[in-house]
Chain A
Amino acid sequence: MTSTTGDSGGQIPEEVAEFLVESYENLDRLDQDLVTLESDPQNHSTLSSIFRTIHTIKGTCGFLGFEKLEKVAHVGENLLSKLRDGVLIINPAITTALLATVDAVREMLAEIESTNQEGNGDYSALIATLSRLAAGEEVTDTPPPSIVEEVAPAAPEATAEPETIQTGASAFVFQRKAPSPQPAGSAPQPEVASEVEANTPPVEDNVEAAAVASAPREEVSAVAEAKVDHDKEKVPAGSSVSDANIRVDVGLLDKLMNLVGELVLARNQILQYTSSQTDTSFVAASQRLNLITSELQEGVMKTRMQPIGNVWSKFPRVVRDLALSVGKQVAIEFEGRETELDRTIIESIKDPLTHLVRNSVDHGIEPPEVREKIGKAREGRLVLRAYHEGGHVNIEISDDGSGINPEKIRANALKKGLFRADQLDKMSERELVNLIFAPGFSTAEKVTNVSGRGVGMDVVKTNIEKIGGTIDISTNLGEGTTFKIKIPLTLAIIPALVVAAGGQRYAIPQVSLVELVRLEKDQAAVDIDSVYGAPVCRLRGNLLPLVYLCDLMGTSTAKIDDDAVNIVVLQADERQFGLVVDSVVDTEEIVVKPLGKQVKNVDVYAGATIMGDGKVALILDVMGIAQRSSVISEVRDRKLKELSTSNESESVERQTLLLLGVGDNYRVAVPLASVDRLEEFSPDVLEWAGDNQVVQYRDSIMPLIWLSSTLGVPAASDPDIASIQVVVHSGHGRRVGVVVDRILDIVNVAMNLEKVSIKSQIMGSTVVNNRVTDIVNIDEIVQDALVSFIDSNEYALSSYGG
């Protein structure tokens, strides 16, 4: 042990410092708990709390490599576990021994704090006592002076470390009071301890003590009041770890946070006002205000933020213990430990996360033998990942285990009577898998004592939803399962991009912002295109799906200068899309405020904020927009999958159809094979040839046929006058353009043609995407049209050879 000089022994690693702060707090509580427990031995919650604390300390010091401390904590824990299991009943001897343990731990912590070493203290006597107590040996009813229990036996053998003066003094007192040490194992009486405290040595004793200070007596502090040492002479010049931290009421922090939020808004208002001012001193003052506010805001935010690693730190142990008990091998990995979350959120995700981790080990990862058989590494892999995305914090828990079998889920749900068979039949695989969150559901074939303890996944889901989060599963049978928890950042101040569309401003969290693209009119005409009826933009060789914010919101565009297109490229999940806005206004720090329940259900908003001018602006939820505009949608994914894996062995004839919209609400389709090209013409290029409208196309004249009039369908009420969509068909030695109102999609469907219409141009009707669609015989239409066209234009066309 070091002397009283109290130099802090160099740098303490951050994780050690955290451990110290946490442990000191816990130890203070332990003292209280132990005393409470003595007066109320049946109090299980107190006992569990004590057990947990010692357990935590033990676990952490094992991790940090403090072996001696771990050993002491370990025997203490053994004793406590006996108490907890009811094998032993607490008695004064046990309490005293436990208090001695606490003191020993505290002493070692102090040593670690000042030197980053555990010190050379010998705690074998204490360990022996604890072990004996744990073994149930009767060690009570010994004479009172047993206070020296740890002190005396150790004293002769102890060497090396000169104790601090104060501690030395106390030790001296003990020795005087109990000159003949009792054999170790006798339990000190608490009364004696307090007596000792009361008998704090007078000055002479101190002097005397100083004289004997060099005498070996290191076990002393196991009983001595280490706290006294701290509070008085021993306090080093630099403040100790525990002094540098205070506990603050979270309510107070919340209030501070709110006030800072208000301050930020006021600052924004002043800044806006400043921009129109010329008074330099006023401008300077407001700039200072700006800086200070930013720093204050950052500081207050930090007080509430904690890295998620704090919660994760206990998982290696949890996983290890659990894996051992169920005979599995699991390695746990972490990504994004430093991702910070609001403290209250950290608290509330602790339990759900633990449950999910246990669940993955217990149900997800297979036993080593099974893994080996199917060609996986014997050791399973569990990855915890945390990251910020789109104004949310995502936490993923993935394992490379067996995955979730939707069939099993289905069978189980049916067996448990949670759903009827016909309901289950309608569910997609994804929906089936999500049933594990249904109350009263457990897929484990055998209920282990680990998971399946009645706290089901439904509780996990409820807890996460309570803090406004969502949980989602993606699973691949045989490959593994990933749980994705998405937690919103309410109460937070975030940098945002402010855009305008339809006369309104919207804020977009910058975390989901990828880039801003501005296309001038000419460029836009080239780069913006339509694929399967969905607008896309060619961006550096890739096709970027576009979402027009005005269209999405159903507001009319307030754009006046129609010469450029502003695209905000956003990241949603793993995909990017472009949000077309009227203009990009500014970047600004915004305070995220929650929306009232009446608007919360609109998935495209993440919240609202107050802008510099005092008006409210909505914050866009990038994921919500992507989903609503089906940039990301299960349906589309499924369709694409269907397209790519279209079944050749299918008995029904499958055909690829081009879906077209005619009139307001009428859908037709033509076999894609009969389509030459899809073109778009400006109305300006239409010309007349005789009675027919034509366009010049590829050095020839192409007659146009309006499909709506051919089929006798009323024309669309709001035709797109800016462009004309044309399906080019070649047949009979000539190209003909069939004008339609909309080109919708290309689908691959099983053709079950039913003849409903008597029109000769309709080959039949089928159902495509849940809508009745007429299949048009484009060849016949074109032929009919050509006949009349050629009749009336024979002369006009004679010089062109078709």
Chain B
Amino acid sequence: MAVNELTERQYCTFYLDGHFLGIGVKEVQEVLKYQYMTEVPLADAEVAGLINLRGQIVTALDLRKVMGLGPRQGKLPMNIVVRSDDGPLSLLVDEIGDVVEVEKESFEDPPETLEVSFRHLIKGVYKLQEKLMLVLDLDRAVFSLVDA
């Protein structure tokens, strides 16, 4: 199997407010534990702060805020650094899951039961054996913020 095909089907998964979500591994640069962040007063609410990523300053977005979910309780967030046209961008999530491989056939449109504000940021759902993985639409959820 070509490497390309394999990576197309691999997803980096994470948890967010009880939801199990995934981002294509090709879009992910790296995954980091909690990093110190410098807050940016007056910036949009989604902007959690700035991270020093090996000398590069990376903006961290709180994915909970982006997705319209409630605030995180207790635990420190983890970083998923994704590549964007504007350089790397860090997404704060509750917890990191495994890299999973999916079967094309198991893909379905986002369930109607999801709240609309949340659903339109989801590309679709993969039915994994034990649970459902929601595929995050990075373009809509994250990169579109950039132009706003």
Chain A contact residues, CB within 8 Å of chain B: 261-262, 265, 502, 504, 552-555, 593-599, 602, 604-605, 608-610, 614-618
Binds A, one of B22-30, B50-58, B114-122: B50-58
Binds A, one of B33-41, B75-83, B92-100, B101-109: B33-41
Known contacts A604-B42, A618-B40; A599 and B52 CB within 8 A of each other: no
Binary flags per residue of B52-66, CB closer than 8 Å to A gives 1, else 0: 100111110100000
Q: Supply 6 further A-B pairs (C-beta < 8 A) apart from A599-B47, A605-B40.
A: A504-B39, A598-B59, A610-B55, A616-B50, A616-B57, A618-B50
A599–B47 Cα distance when bound, in Å, is 8
Does B130 count as interface, using CB distance less than 8 angstroms? no
A605–B40 Cα distance when bound, in Å, is 9
- Max count, chain A CB within 10 A of own CB: residue among B37, B50, B58, B89: B50
- In the complex, how many residues of chain B place their beta carbon closer than 8 angstroms to a beta carbon of chain A? 27
Known contacts A598-B46, A615-B36; A553 and B59 CB within 8 A of each other: no
A285–B42 Cα distance when bound, in Å, is 42
Closest chain-B Cβ to A258's Cβ sits at a distance in Å of: 9
Instruction: Report yes or no: A616 in contact with B42, Cβ–Cβ below 8 A.
Output: no
- Max count, chain B CB within 10 A of own CB: residue among A504, A552, A555, A599: A599
Instruction: Report yes or no: A597 in contact with B42, Cβ–Cβ below 8 A.
Output: no
Does B5 count as interface, using CB distance less than 8 angstroms? no
| CB<8 Å pairs between A and B, sample of 11 | A504-B39, A554-B41, A554-B42, A555-B39, A555-B41, A597-B147, A598-B61, A598-B146, A599-B40, A599-B59, A618-B50
- With a cutoff of 8 Å between Cβ atoms, the chain A residues found around residue B51 in the complex are 616
Closest chain-B Cβ to A581's Cβ sits at a distance in Å of: 14
Instruction: Report yes or no: A602 in contact with B52, Cβ–Cβ below 8 A.
Output: no
- With a cutoff of 8 Å between Cβ atoms, the chain B residues found around residue A261 in the complex are 55
Main secondary structure of the interface of A (DSSP, over half): mixed
Does B145 count as interface, using CB distance less than 8 angstroms? yes
Closest chain-A Cβ to B72's Cβ sits at a distance in Å of: 19
Instruction: Report yes or no: B42 in contact with A553, Cβ–Cβ below 8 A.
Output: yes
A772–B40 Cα distance when bound, in Å, is 35
A593–B146 Cα distance when bound, in Å, is 18
Instruction: Report yes or no: A593 in contact with B41, Cβ–Cβ below 8 A.
Output: no
Among residues of B, the one whose C-beta sits closest to the C-beta of A603 is: B42
Binary flags per residue of B111-148, CB closer than 8 Å to A gives 1, else 0: 00000000000000000000000000000000001110
- With a cutoff of 8 Å between Cβ atoms, the chain A residues found around residue B52 in the complex are 610, 614-616
Closest chain-A Cβ to B5's Cβ sits at a distance in Å of: 32
A608–B43 Cα distance when bound, in Å, is 14
- With a cutoff of 8 Å between Cβ atoms, the chain A residues found around residue B39 in the complex are 504, 555
- With a cutoff of 8 Å between Cβ atoms, the chain B residues found around residue A604 in the complex are 42
- With a cutoff of 8 Å between Cβ atoms, the chain B residues found around residue A552 in the complex are 42
A617–B38 Cα distance when bound, in Å, is 7
Known contacts A596-B87, A597-B146, A615-B36; A602 and B43 CB within 8 A of each other: yes
A502–B38 Cα distance when bound, in Å, is 12
Instruction: Report yes or no: A596 in contact with B59, Cβ–Cβ below 8 A.
Output: yes
- With a cutoff of 8 Å between Cβ atoms, the chain B residues found around residue A555 in the complex are 39, 41
Among residues of B, the one whose C-beta sits closest to the C-beta of A594 is: B57
Instruction: Report yes or no: B145 in contact with A602, Cβ–Cβ below 8 A.
Output: no
Instruction: Report yes or no: B36 in contact with A595, Cβ–Cβ below 8 A.
Output: no
- With a cutoff of 8 Å between Cβ atoms, the chain B residues found around residue A553 in the complex are 41-42
A604–B52 Cα distance when bound, in Å, is 20
Q: Contact check: which of A262, A595, A597, A602 meets B57 at CB < 8 Å? A: A595
Instruction: Report yes or no: B55 in contact with A262, Cβ–Cβ below 8 A.
Output: yes
- With a cutoff of 8 Å between Cβ atoms, the chain B residues found around residue A593 in the complex are 56-57
- With a cutoff of 8 Å between Cβ atoms, the chain A residues found around residue B57 in the complex are 593-596, 608-610, 616
Binary flags per residue of B1-33, CB closer than 8 Å to A gives 1, else 0: 000000000000000000000000000000000
Closest chain-B Cβ to A5's Cβ sits at a distance in Å of: 54
Closest chain-B Cβ to A233's Cβ sits at a distance in Å of: 52
- With a cutoff of 8 Å between Cβ atoms, the chain A residues found around residue B59 in the complex are 595-596, 598-599
Instruction: Report yes or no: B55 in contact with A265, Cβ–Cβ below 8 A.
Output: yes
Instruction: Report yes or no: B38 in contact with A597, Cβ–Cβ below 8 A.
Output: no
- With a cutoff of 8 Å between Cβ atoms, the chain A residues found around residue B36 in the complex are 615
Q: Contact check: which of A262, A554, A615 meets B38 at CB < 8 Å? A: A615
- With a cutoff of 8 Å between Cβ atoms, the chain B residues found around residue A595 in the complex are 50, 57, 59
Among residues of A, the one whose C-beta sits closest to the C-beta of B37 is: A616
A605–B38 Cα distance when bound, in Å, is 13
A604–B43 Cα distance when bound, in Å, is 10
Instruction: Report yes or no: A599 in contact with B43, Cβ–Cβ below 8 A.
Output: yes
A605–B42 Cα distance when bound, in Å, is 10
Closest chain-B Cβ to A585's Cβ sits at a distance in Å of: 14
Closest 6 CB pairs of A and B: A553-B41, A596-B59, A616-B38, A616-B50, A597-B146, A599-B43
Q: Contact check: which of B37, B42, B147 meets A602 at CB < 8 Å? A: B42
Instruction: Report yes or no: B38 in contact with A596, Cβ–Cβ below 8 A.
Output: no
- With a cutoff of 8 Å between Cβ atoms, the chain B residues found around residue A265 in the complex are 55
- With a cutoff of 8 Å between Cβ atoms, the chain A residues found around residue B89 in the complex are 596, 598
A618–B38 Cα distance when bound, in Å, is 8
- With a cutoff of 8 Å between Cβ atoms, the chain B residues found around residue A594 in the complex are 57
A552–B41 Cα distance when bound, in Å, is 9
- With a cutoff of 8 Å between Cβ atoms, the chain A residues found around residue B47 in the complex are 598-599
A595–B40 Cα distance when bound, in Å, is 11
Closest chain-A Cβ to B61's Cβ sits at a distance in Å of: 7
Closest chain-A Cβ to B54's Cβ sits at a distance in Å of: 9
A370–B40 Cα distance when bound, in Å, is 55
- Max count, chain A CB within 10 A of own CB: residue among B47, B55, B61: B55
- With a cutoff of 8 Å between Cβ atoms, the chain B residues found around residue A605 in the complex are 40
Among residues of A, the one whose C-beta sits closest to the C-beta of B39 is: A504
Closest chain-A Cβ to B87's Cβ sits at a distance in Å of: 7
A553–B42 Cα distance when bound, in Å, is 6
- Max count, chain B CB within 10 A of own CB: residue among A261, A617, A618: A618
Known contacts A610-B52, A610-B55, A618-B38; A598 and B44 CB within 8 A of each other: yes
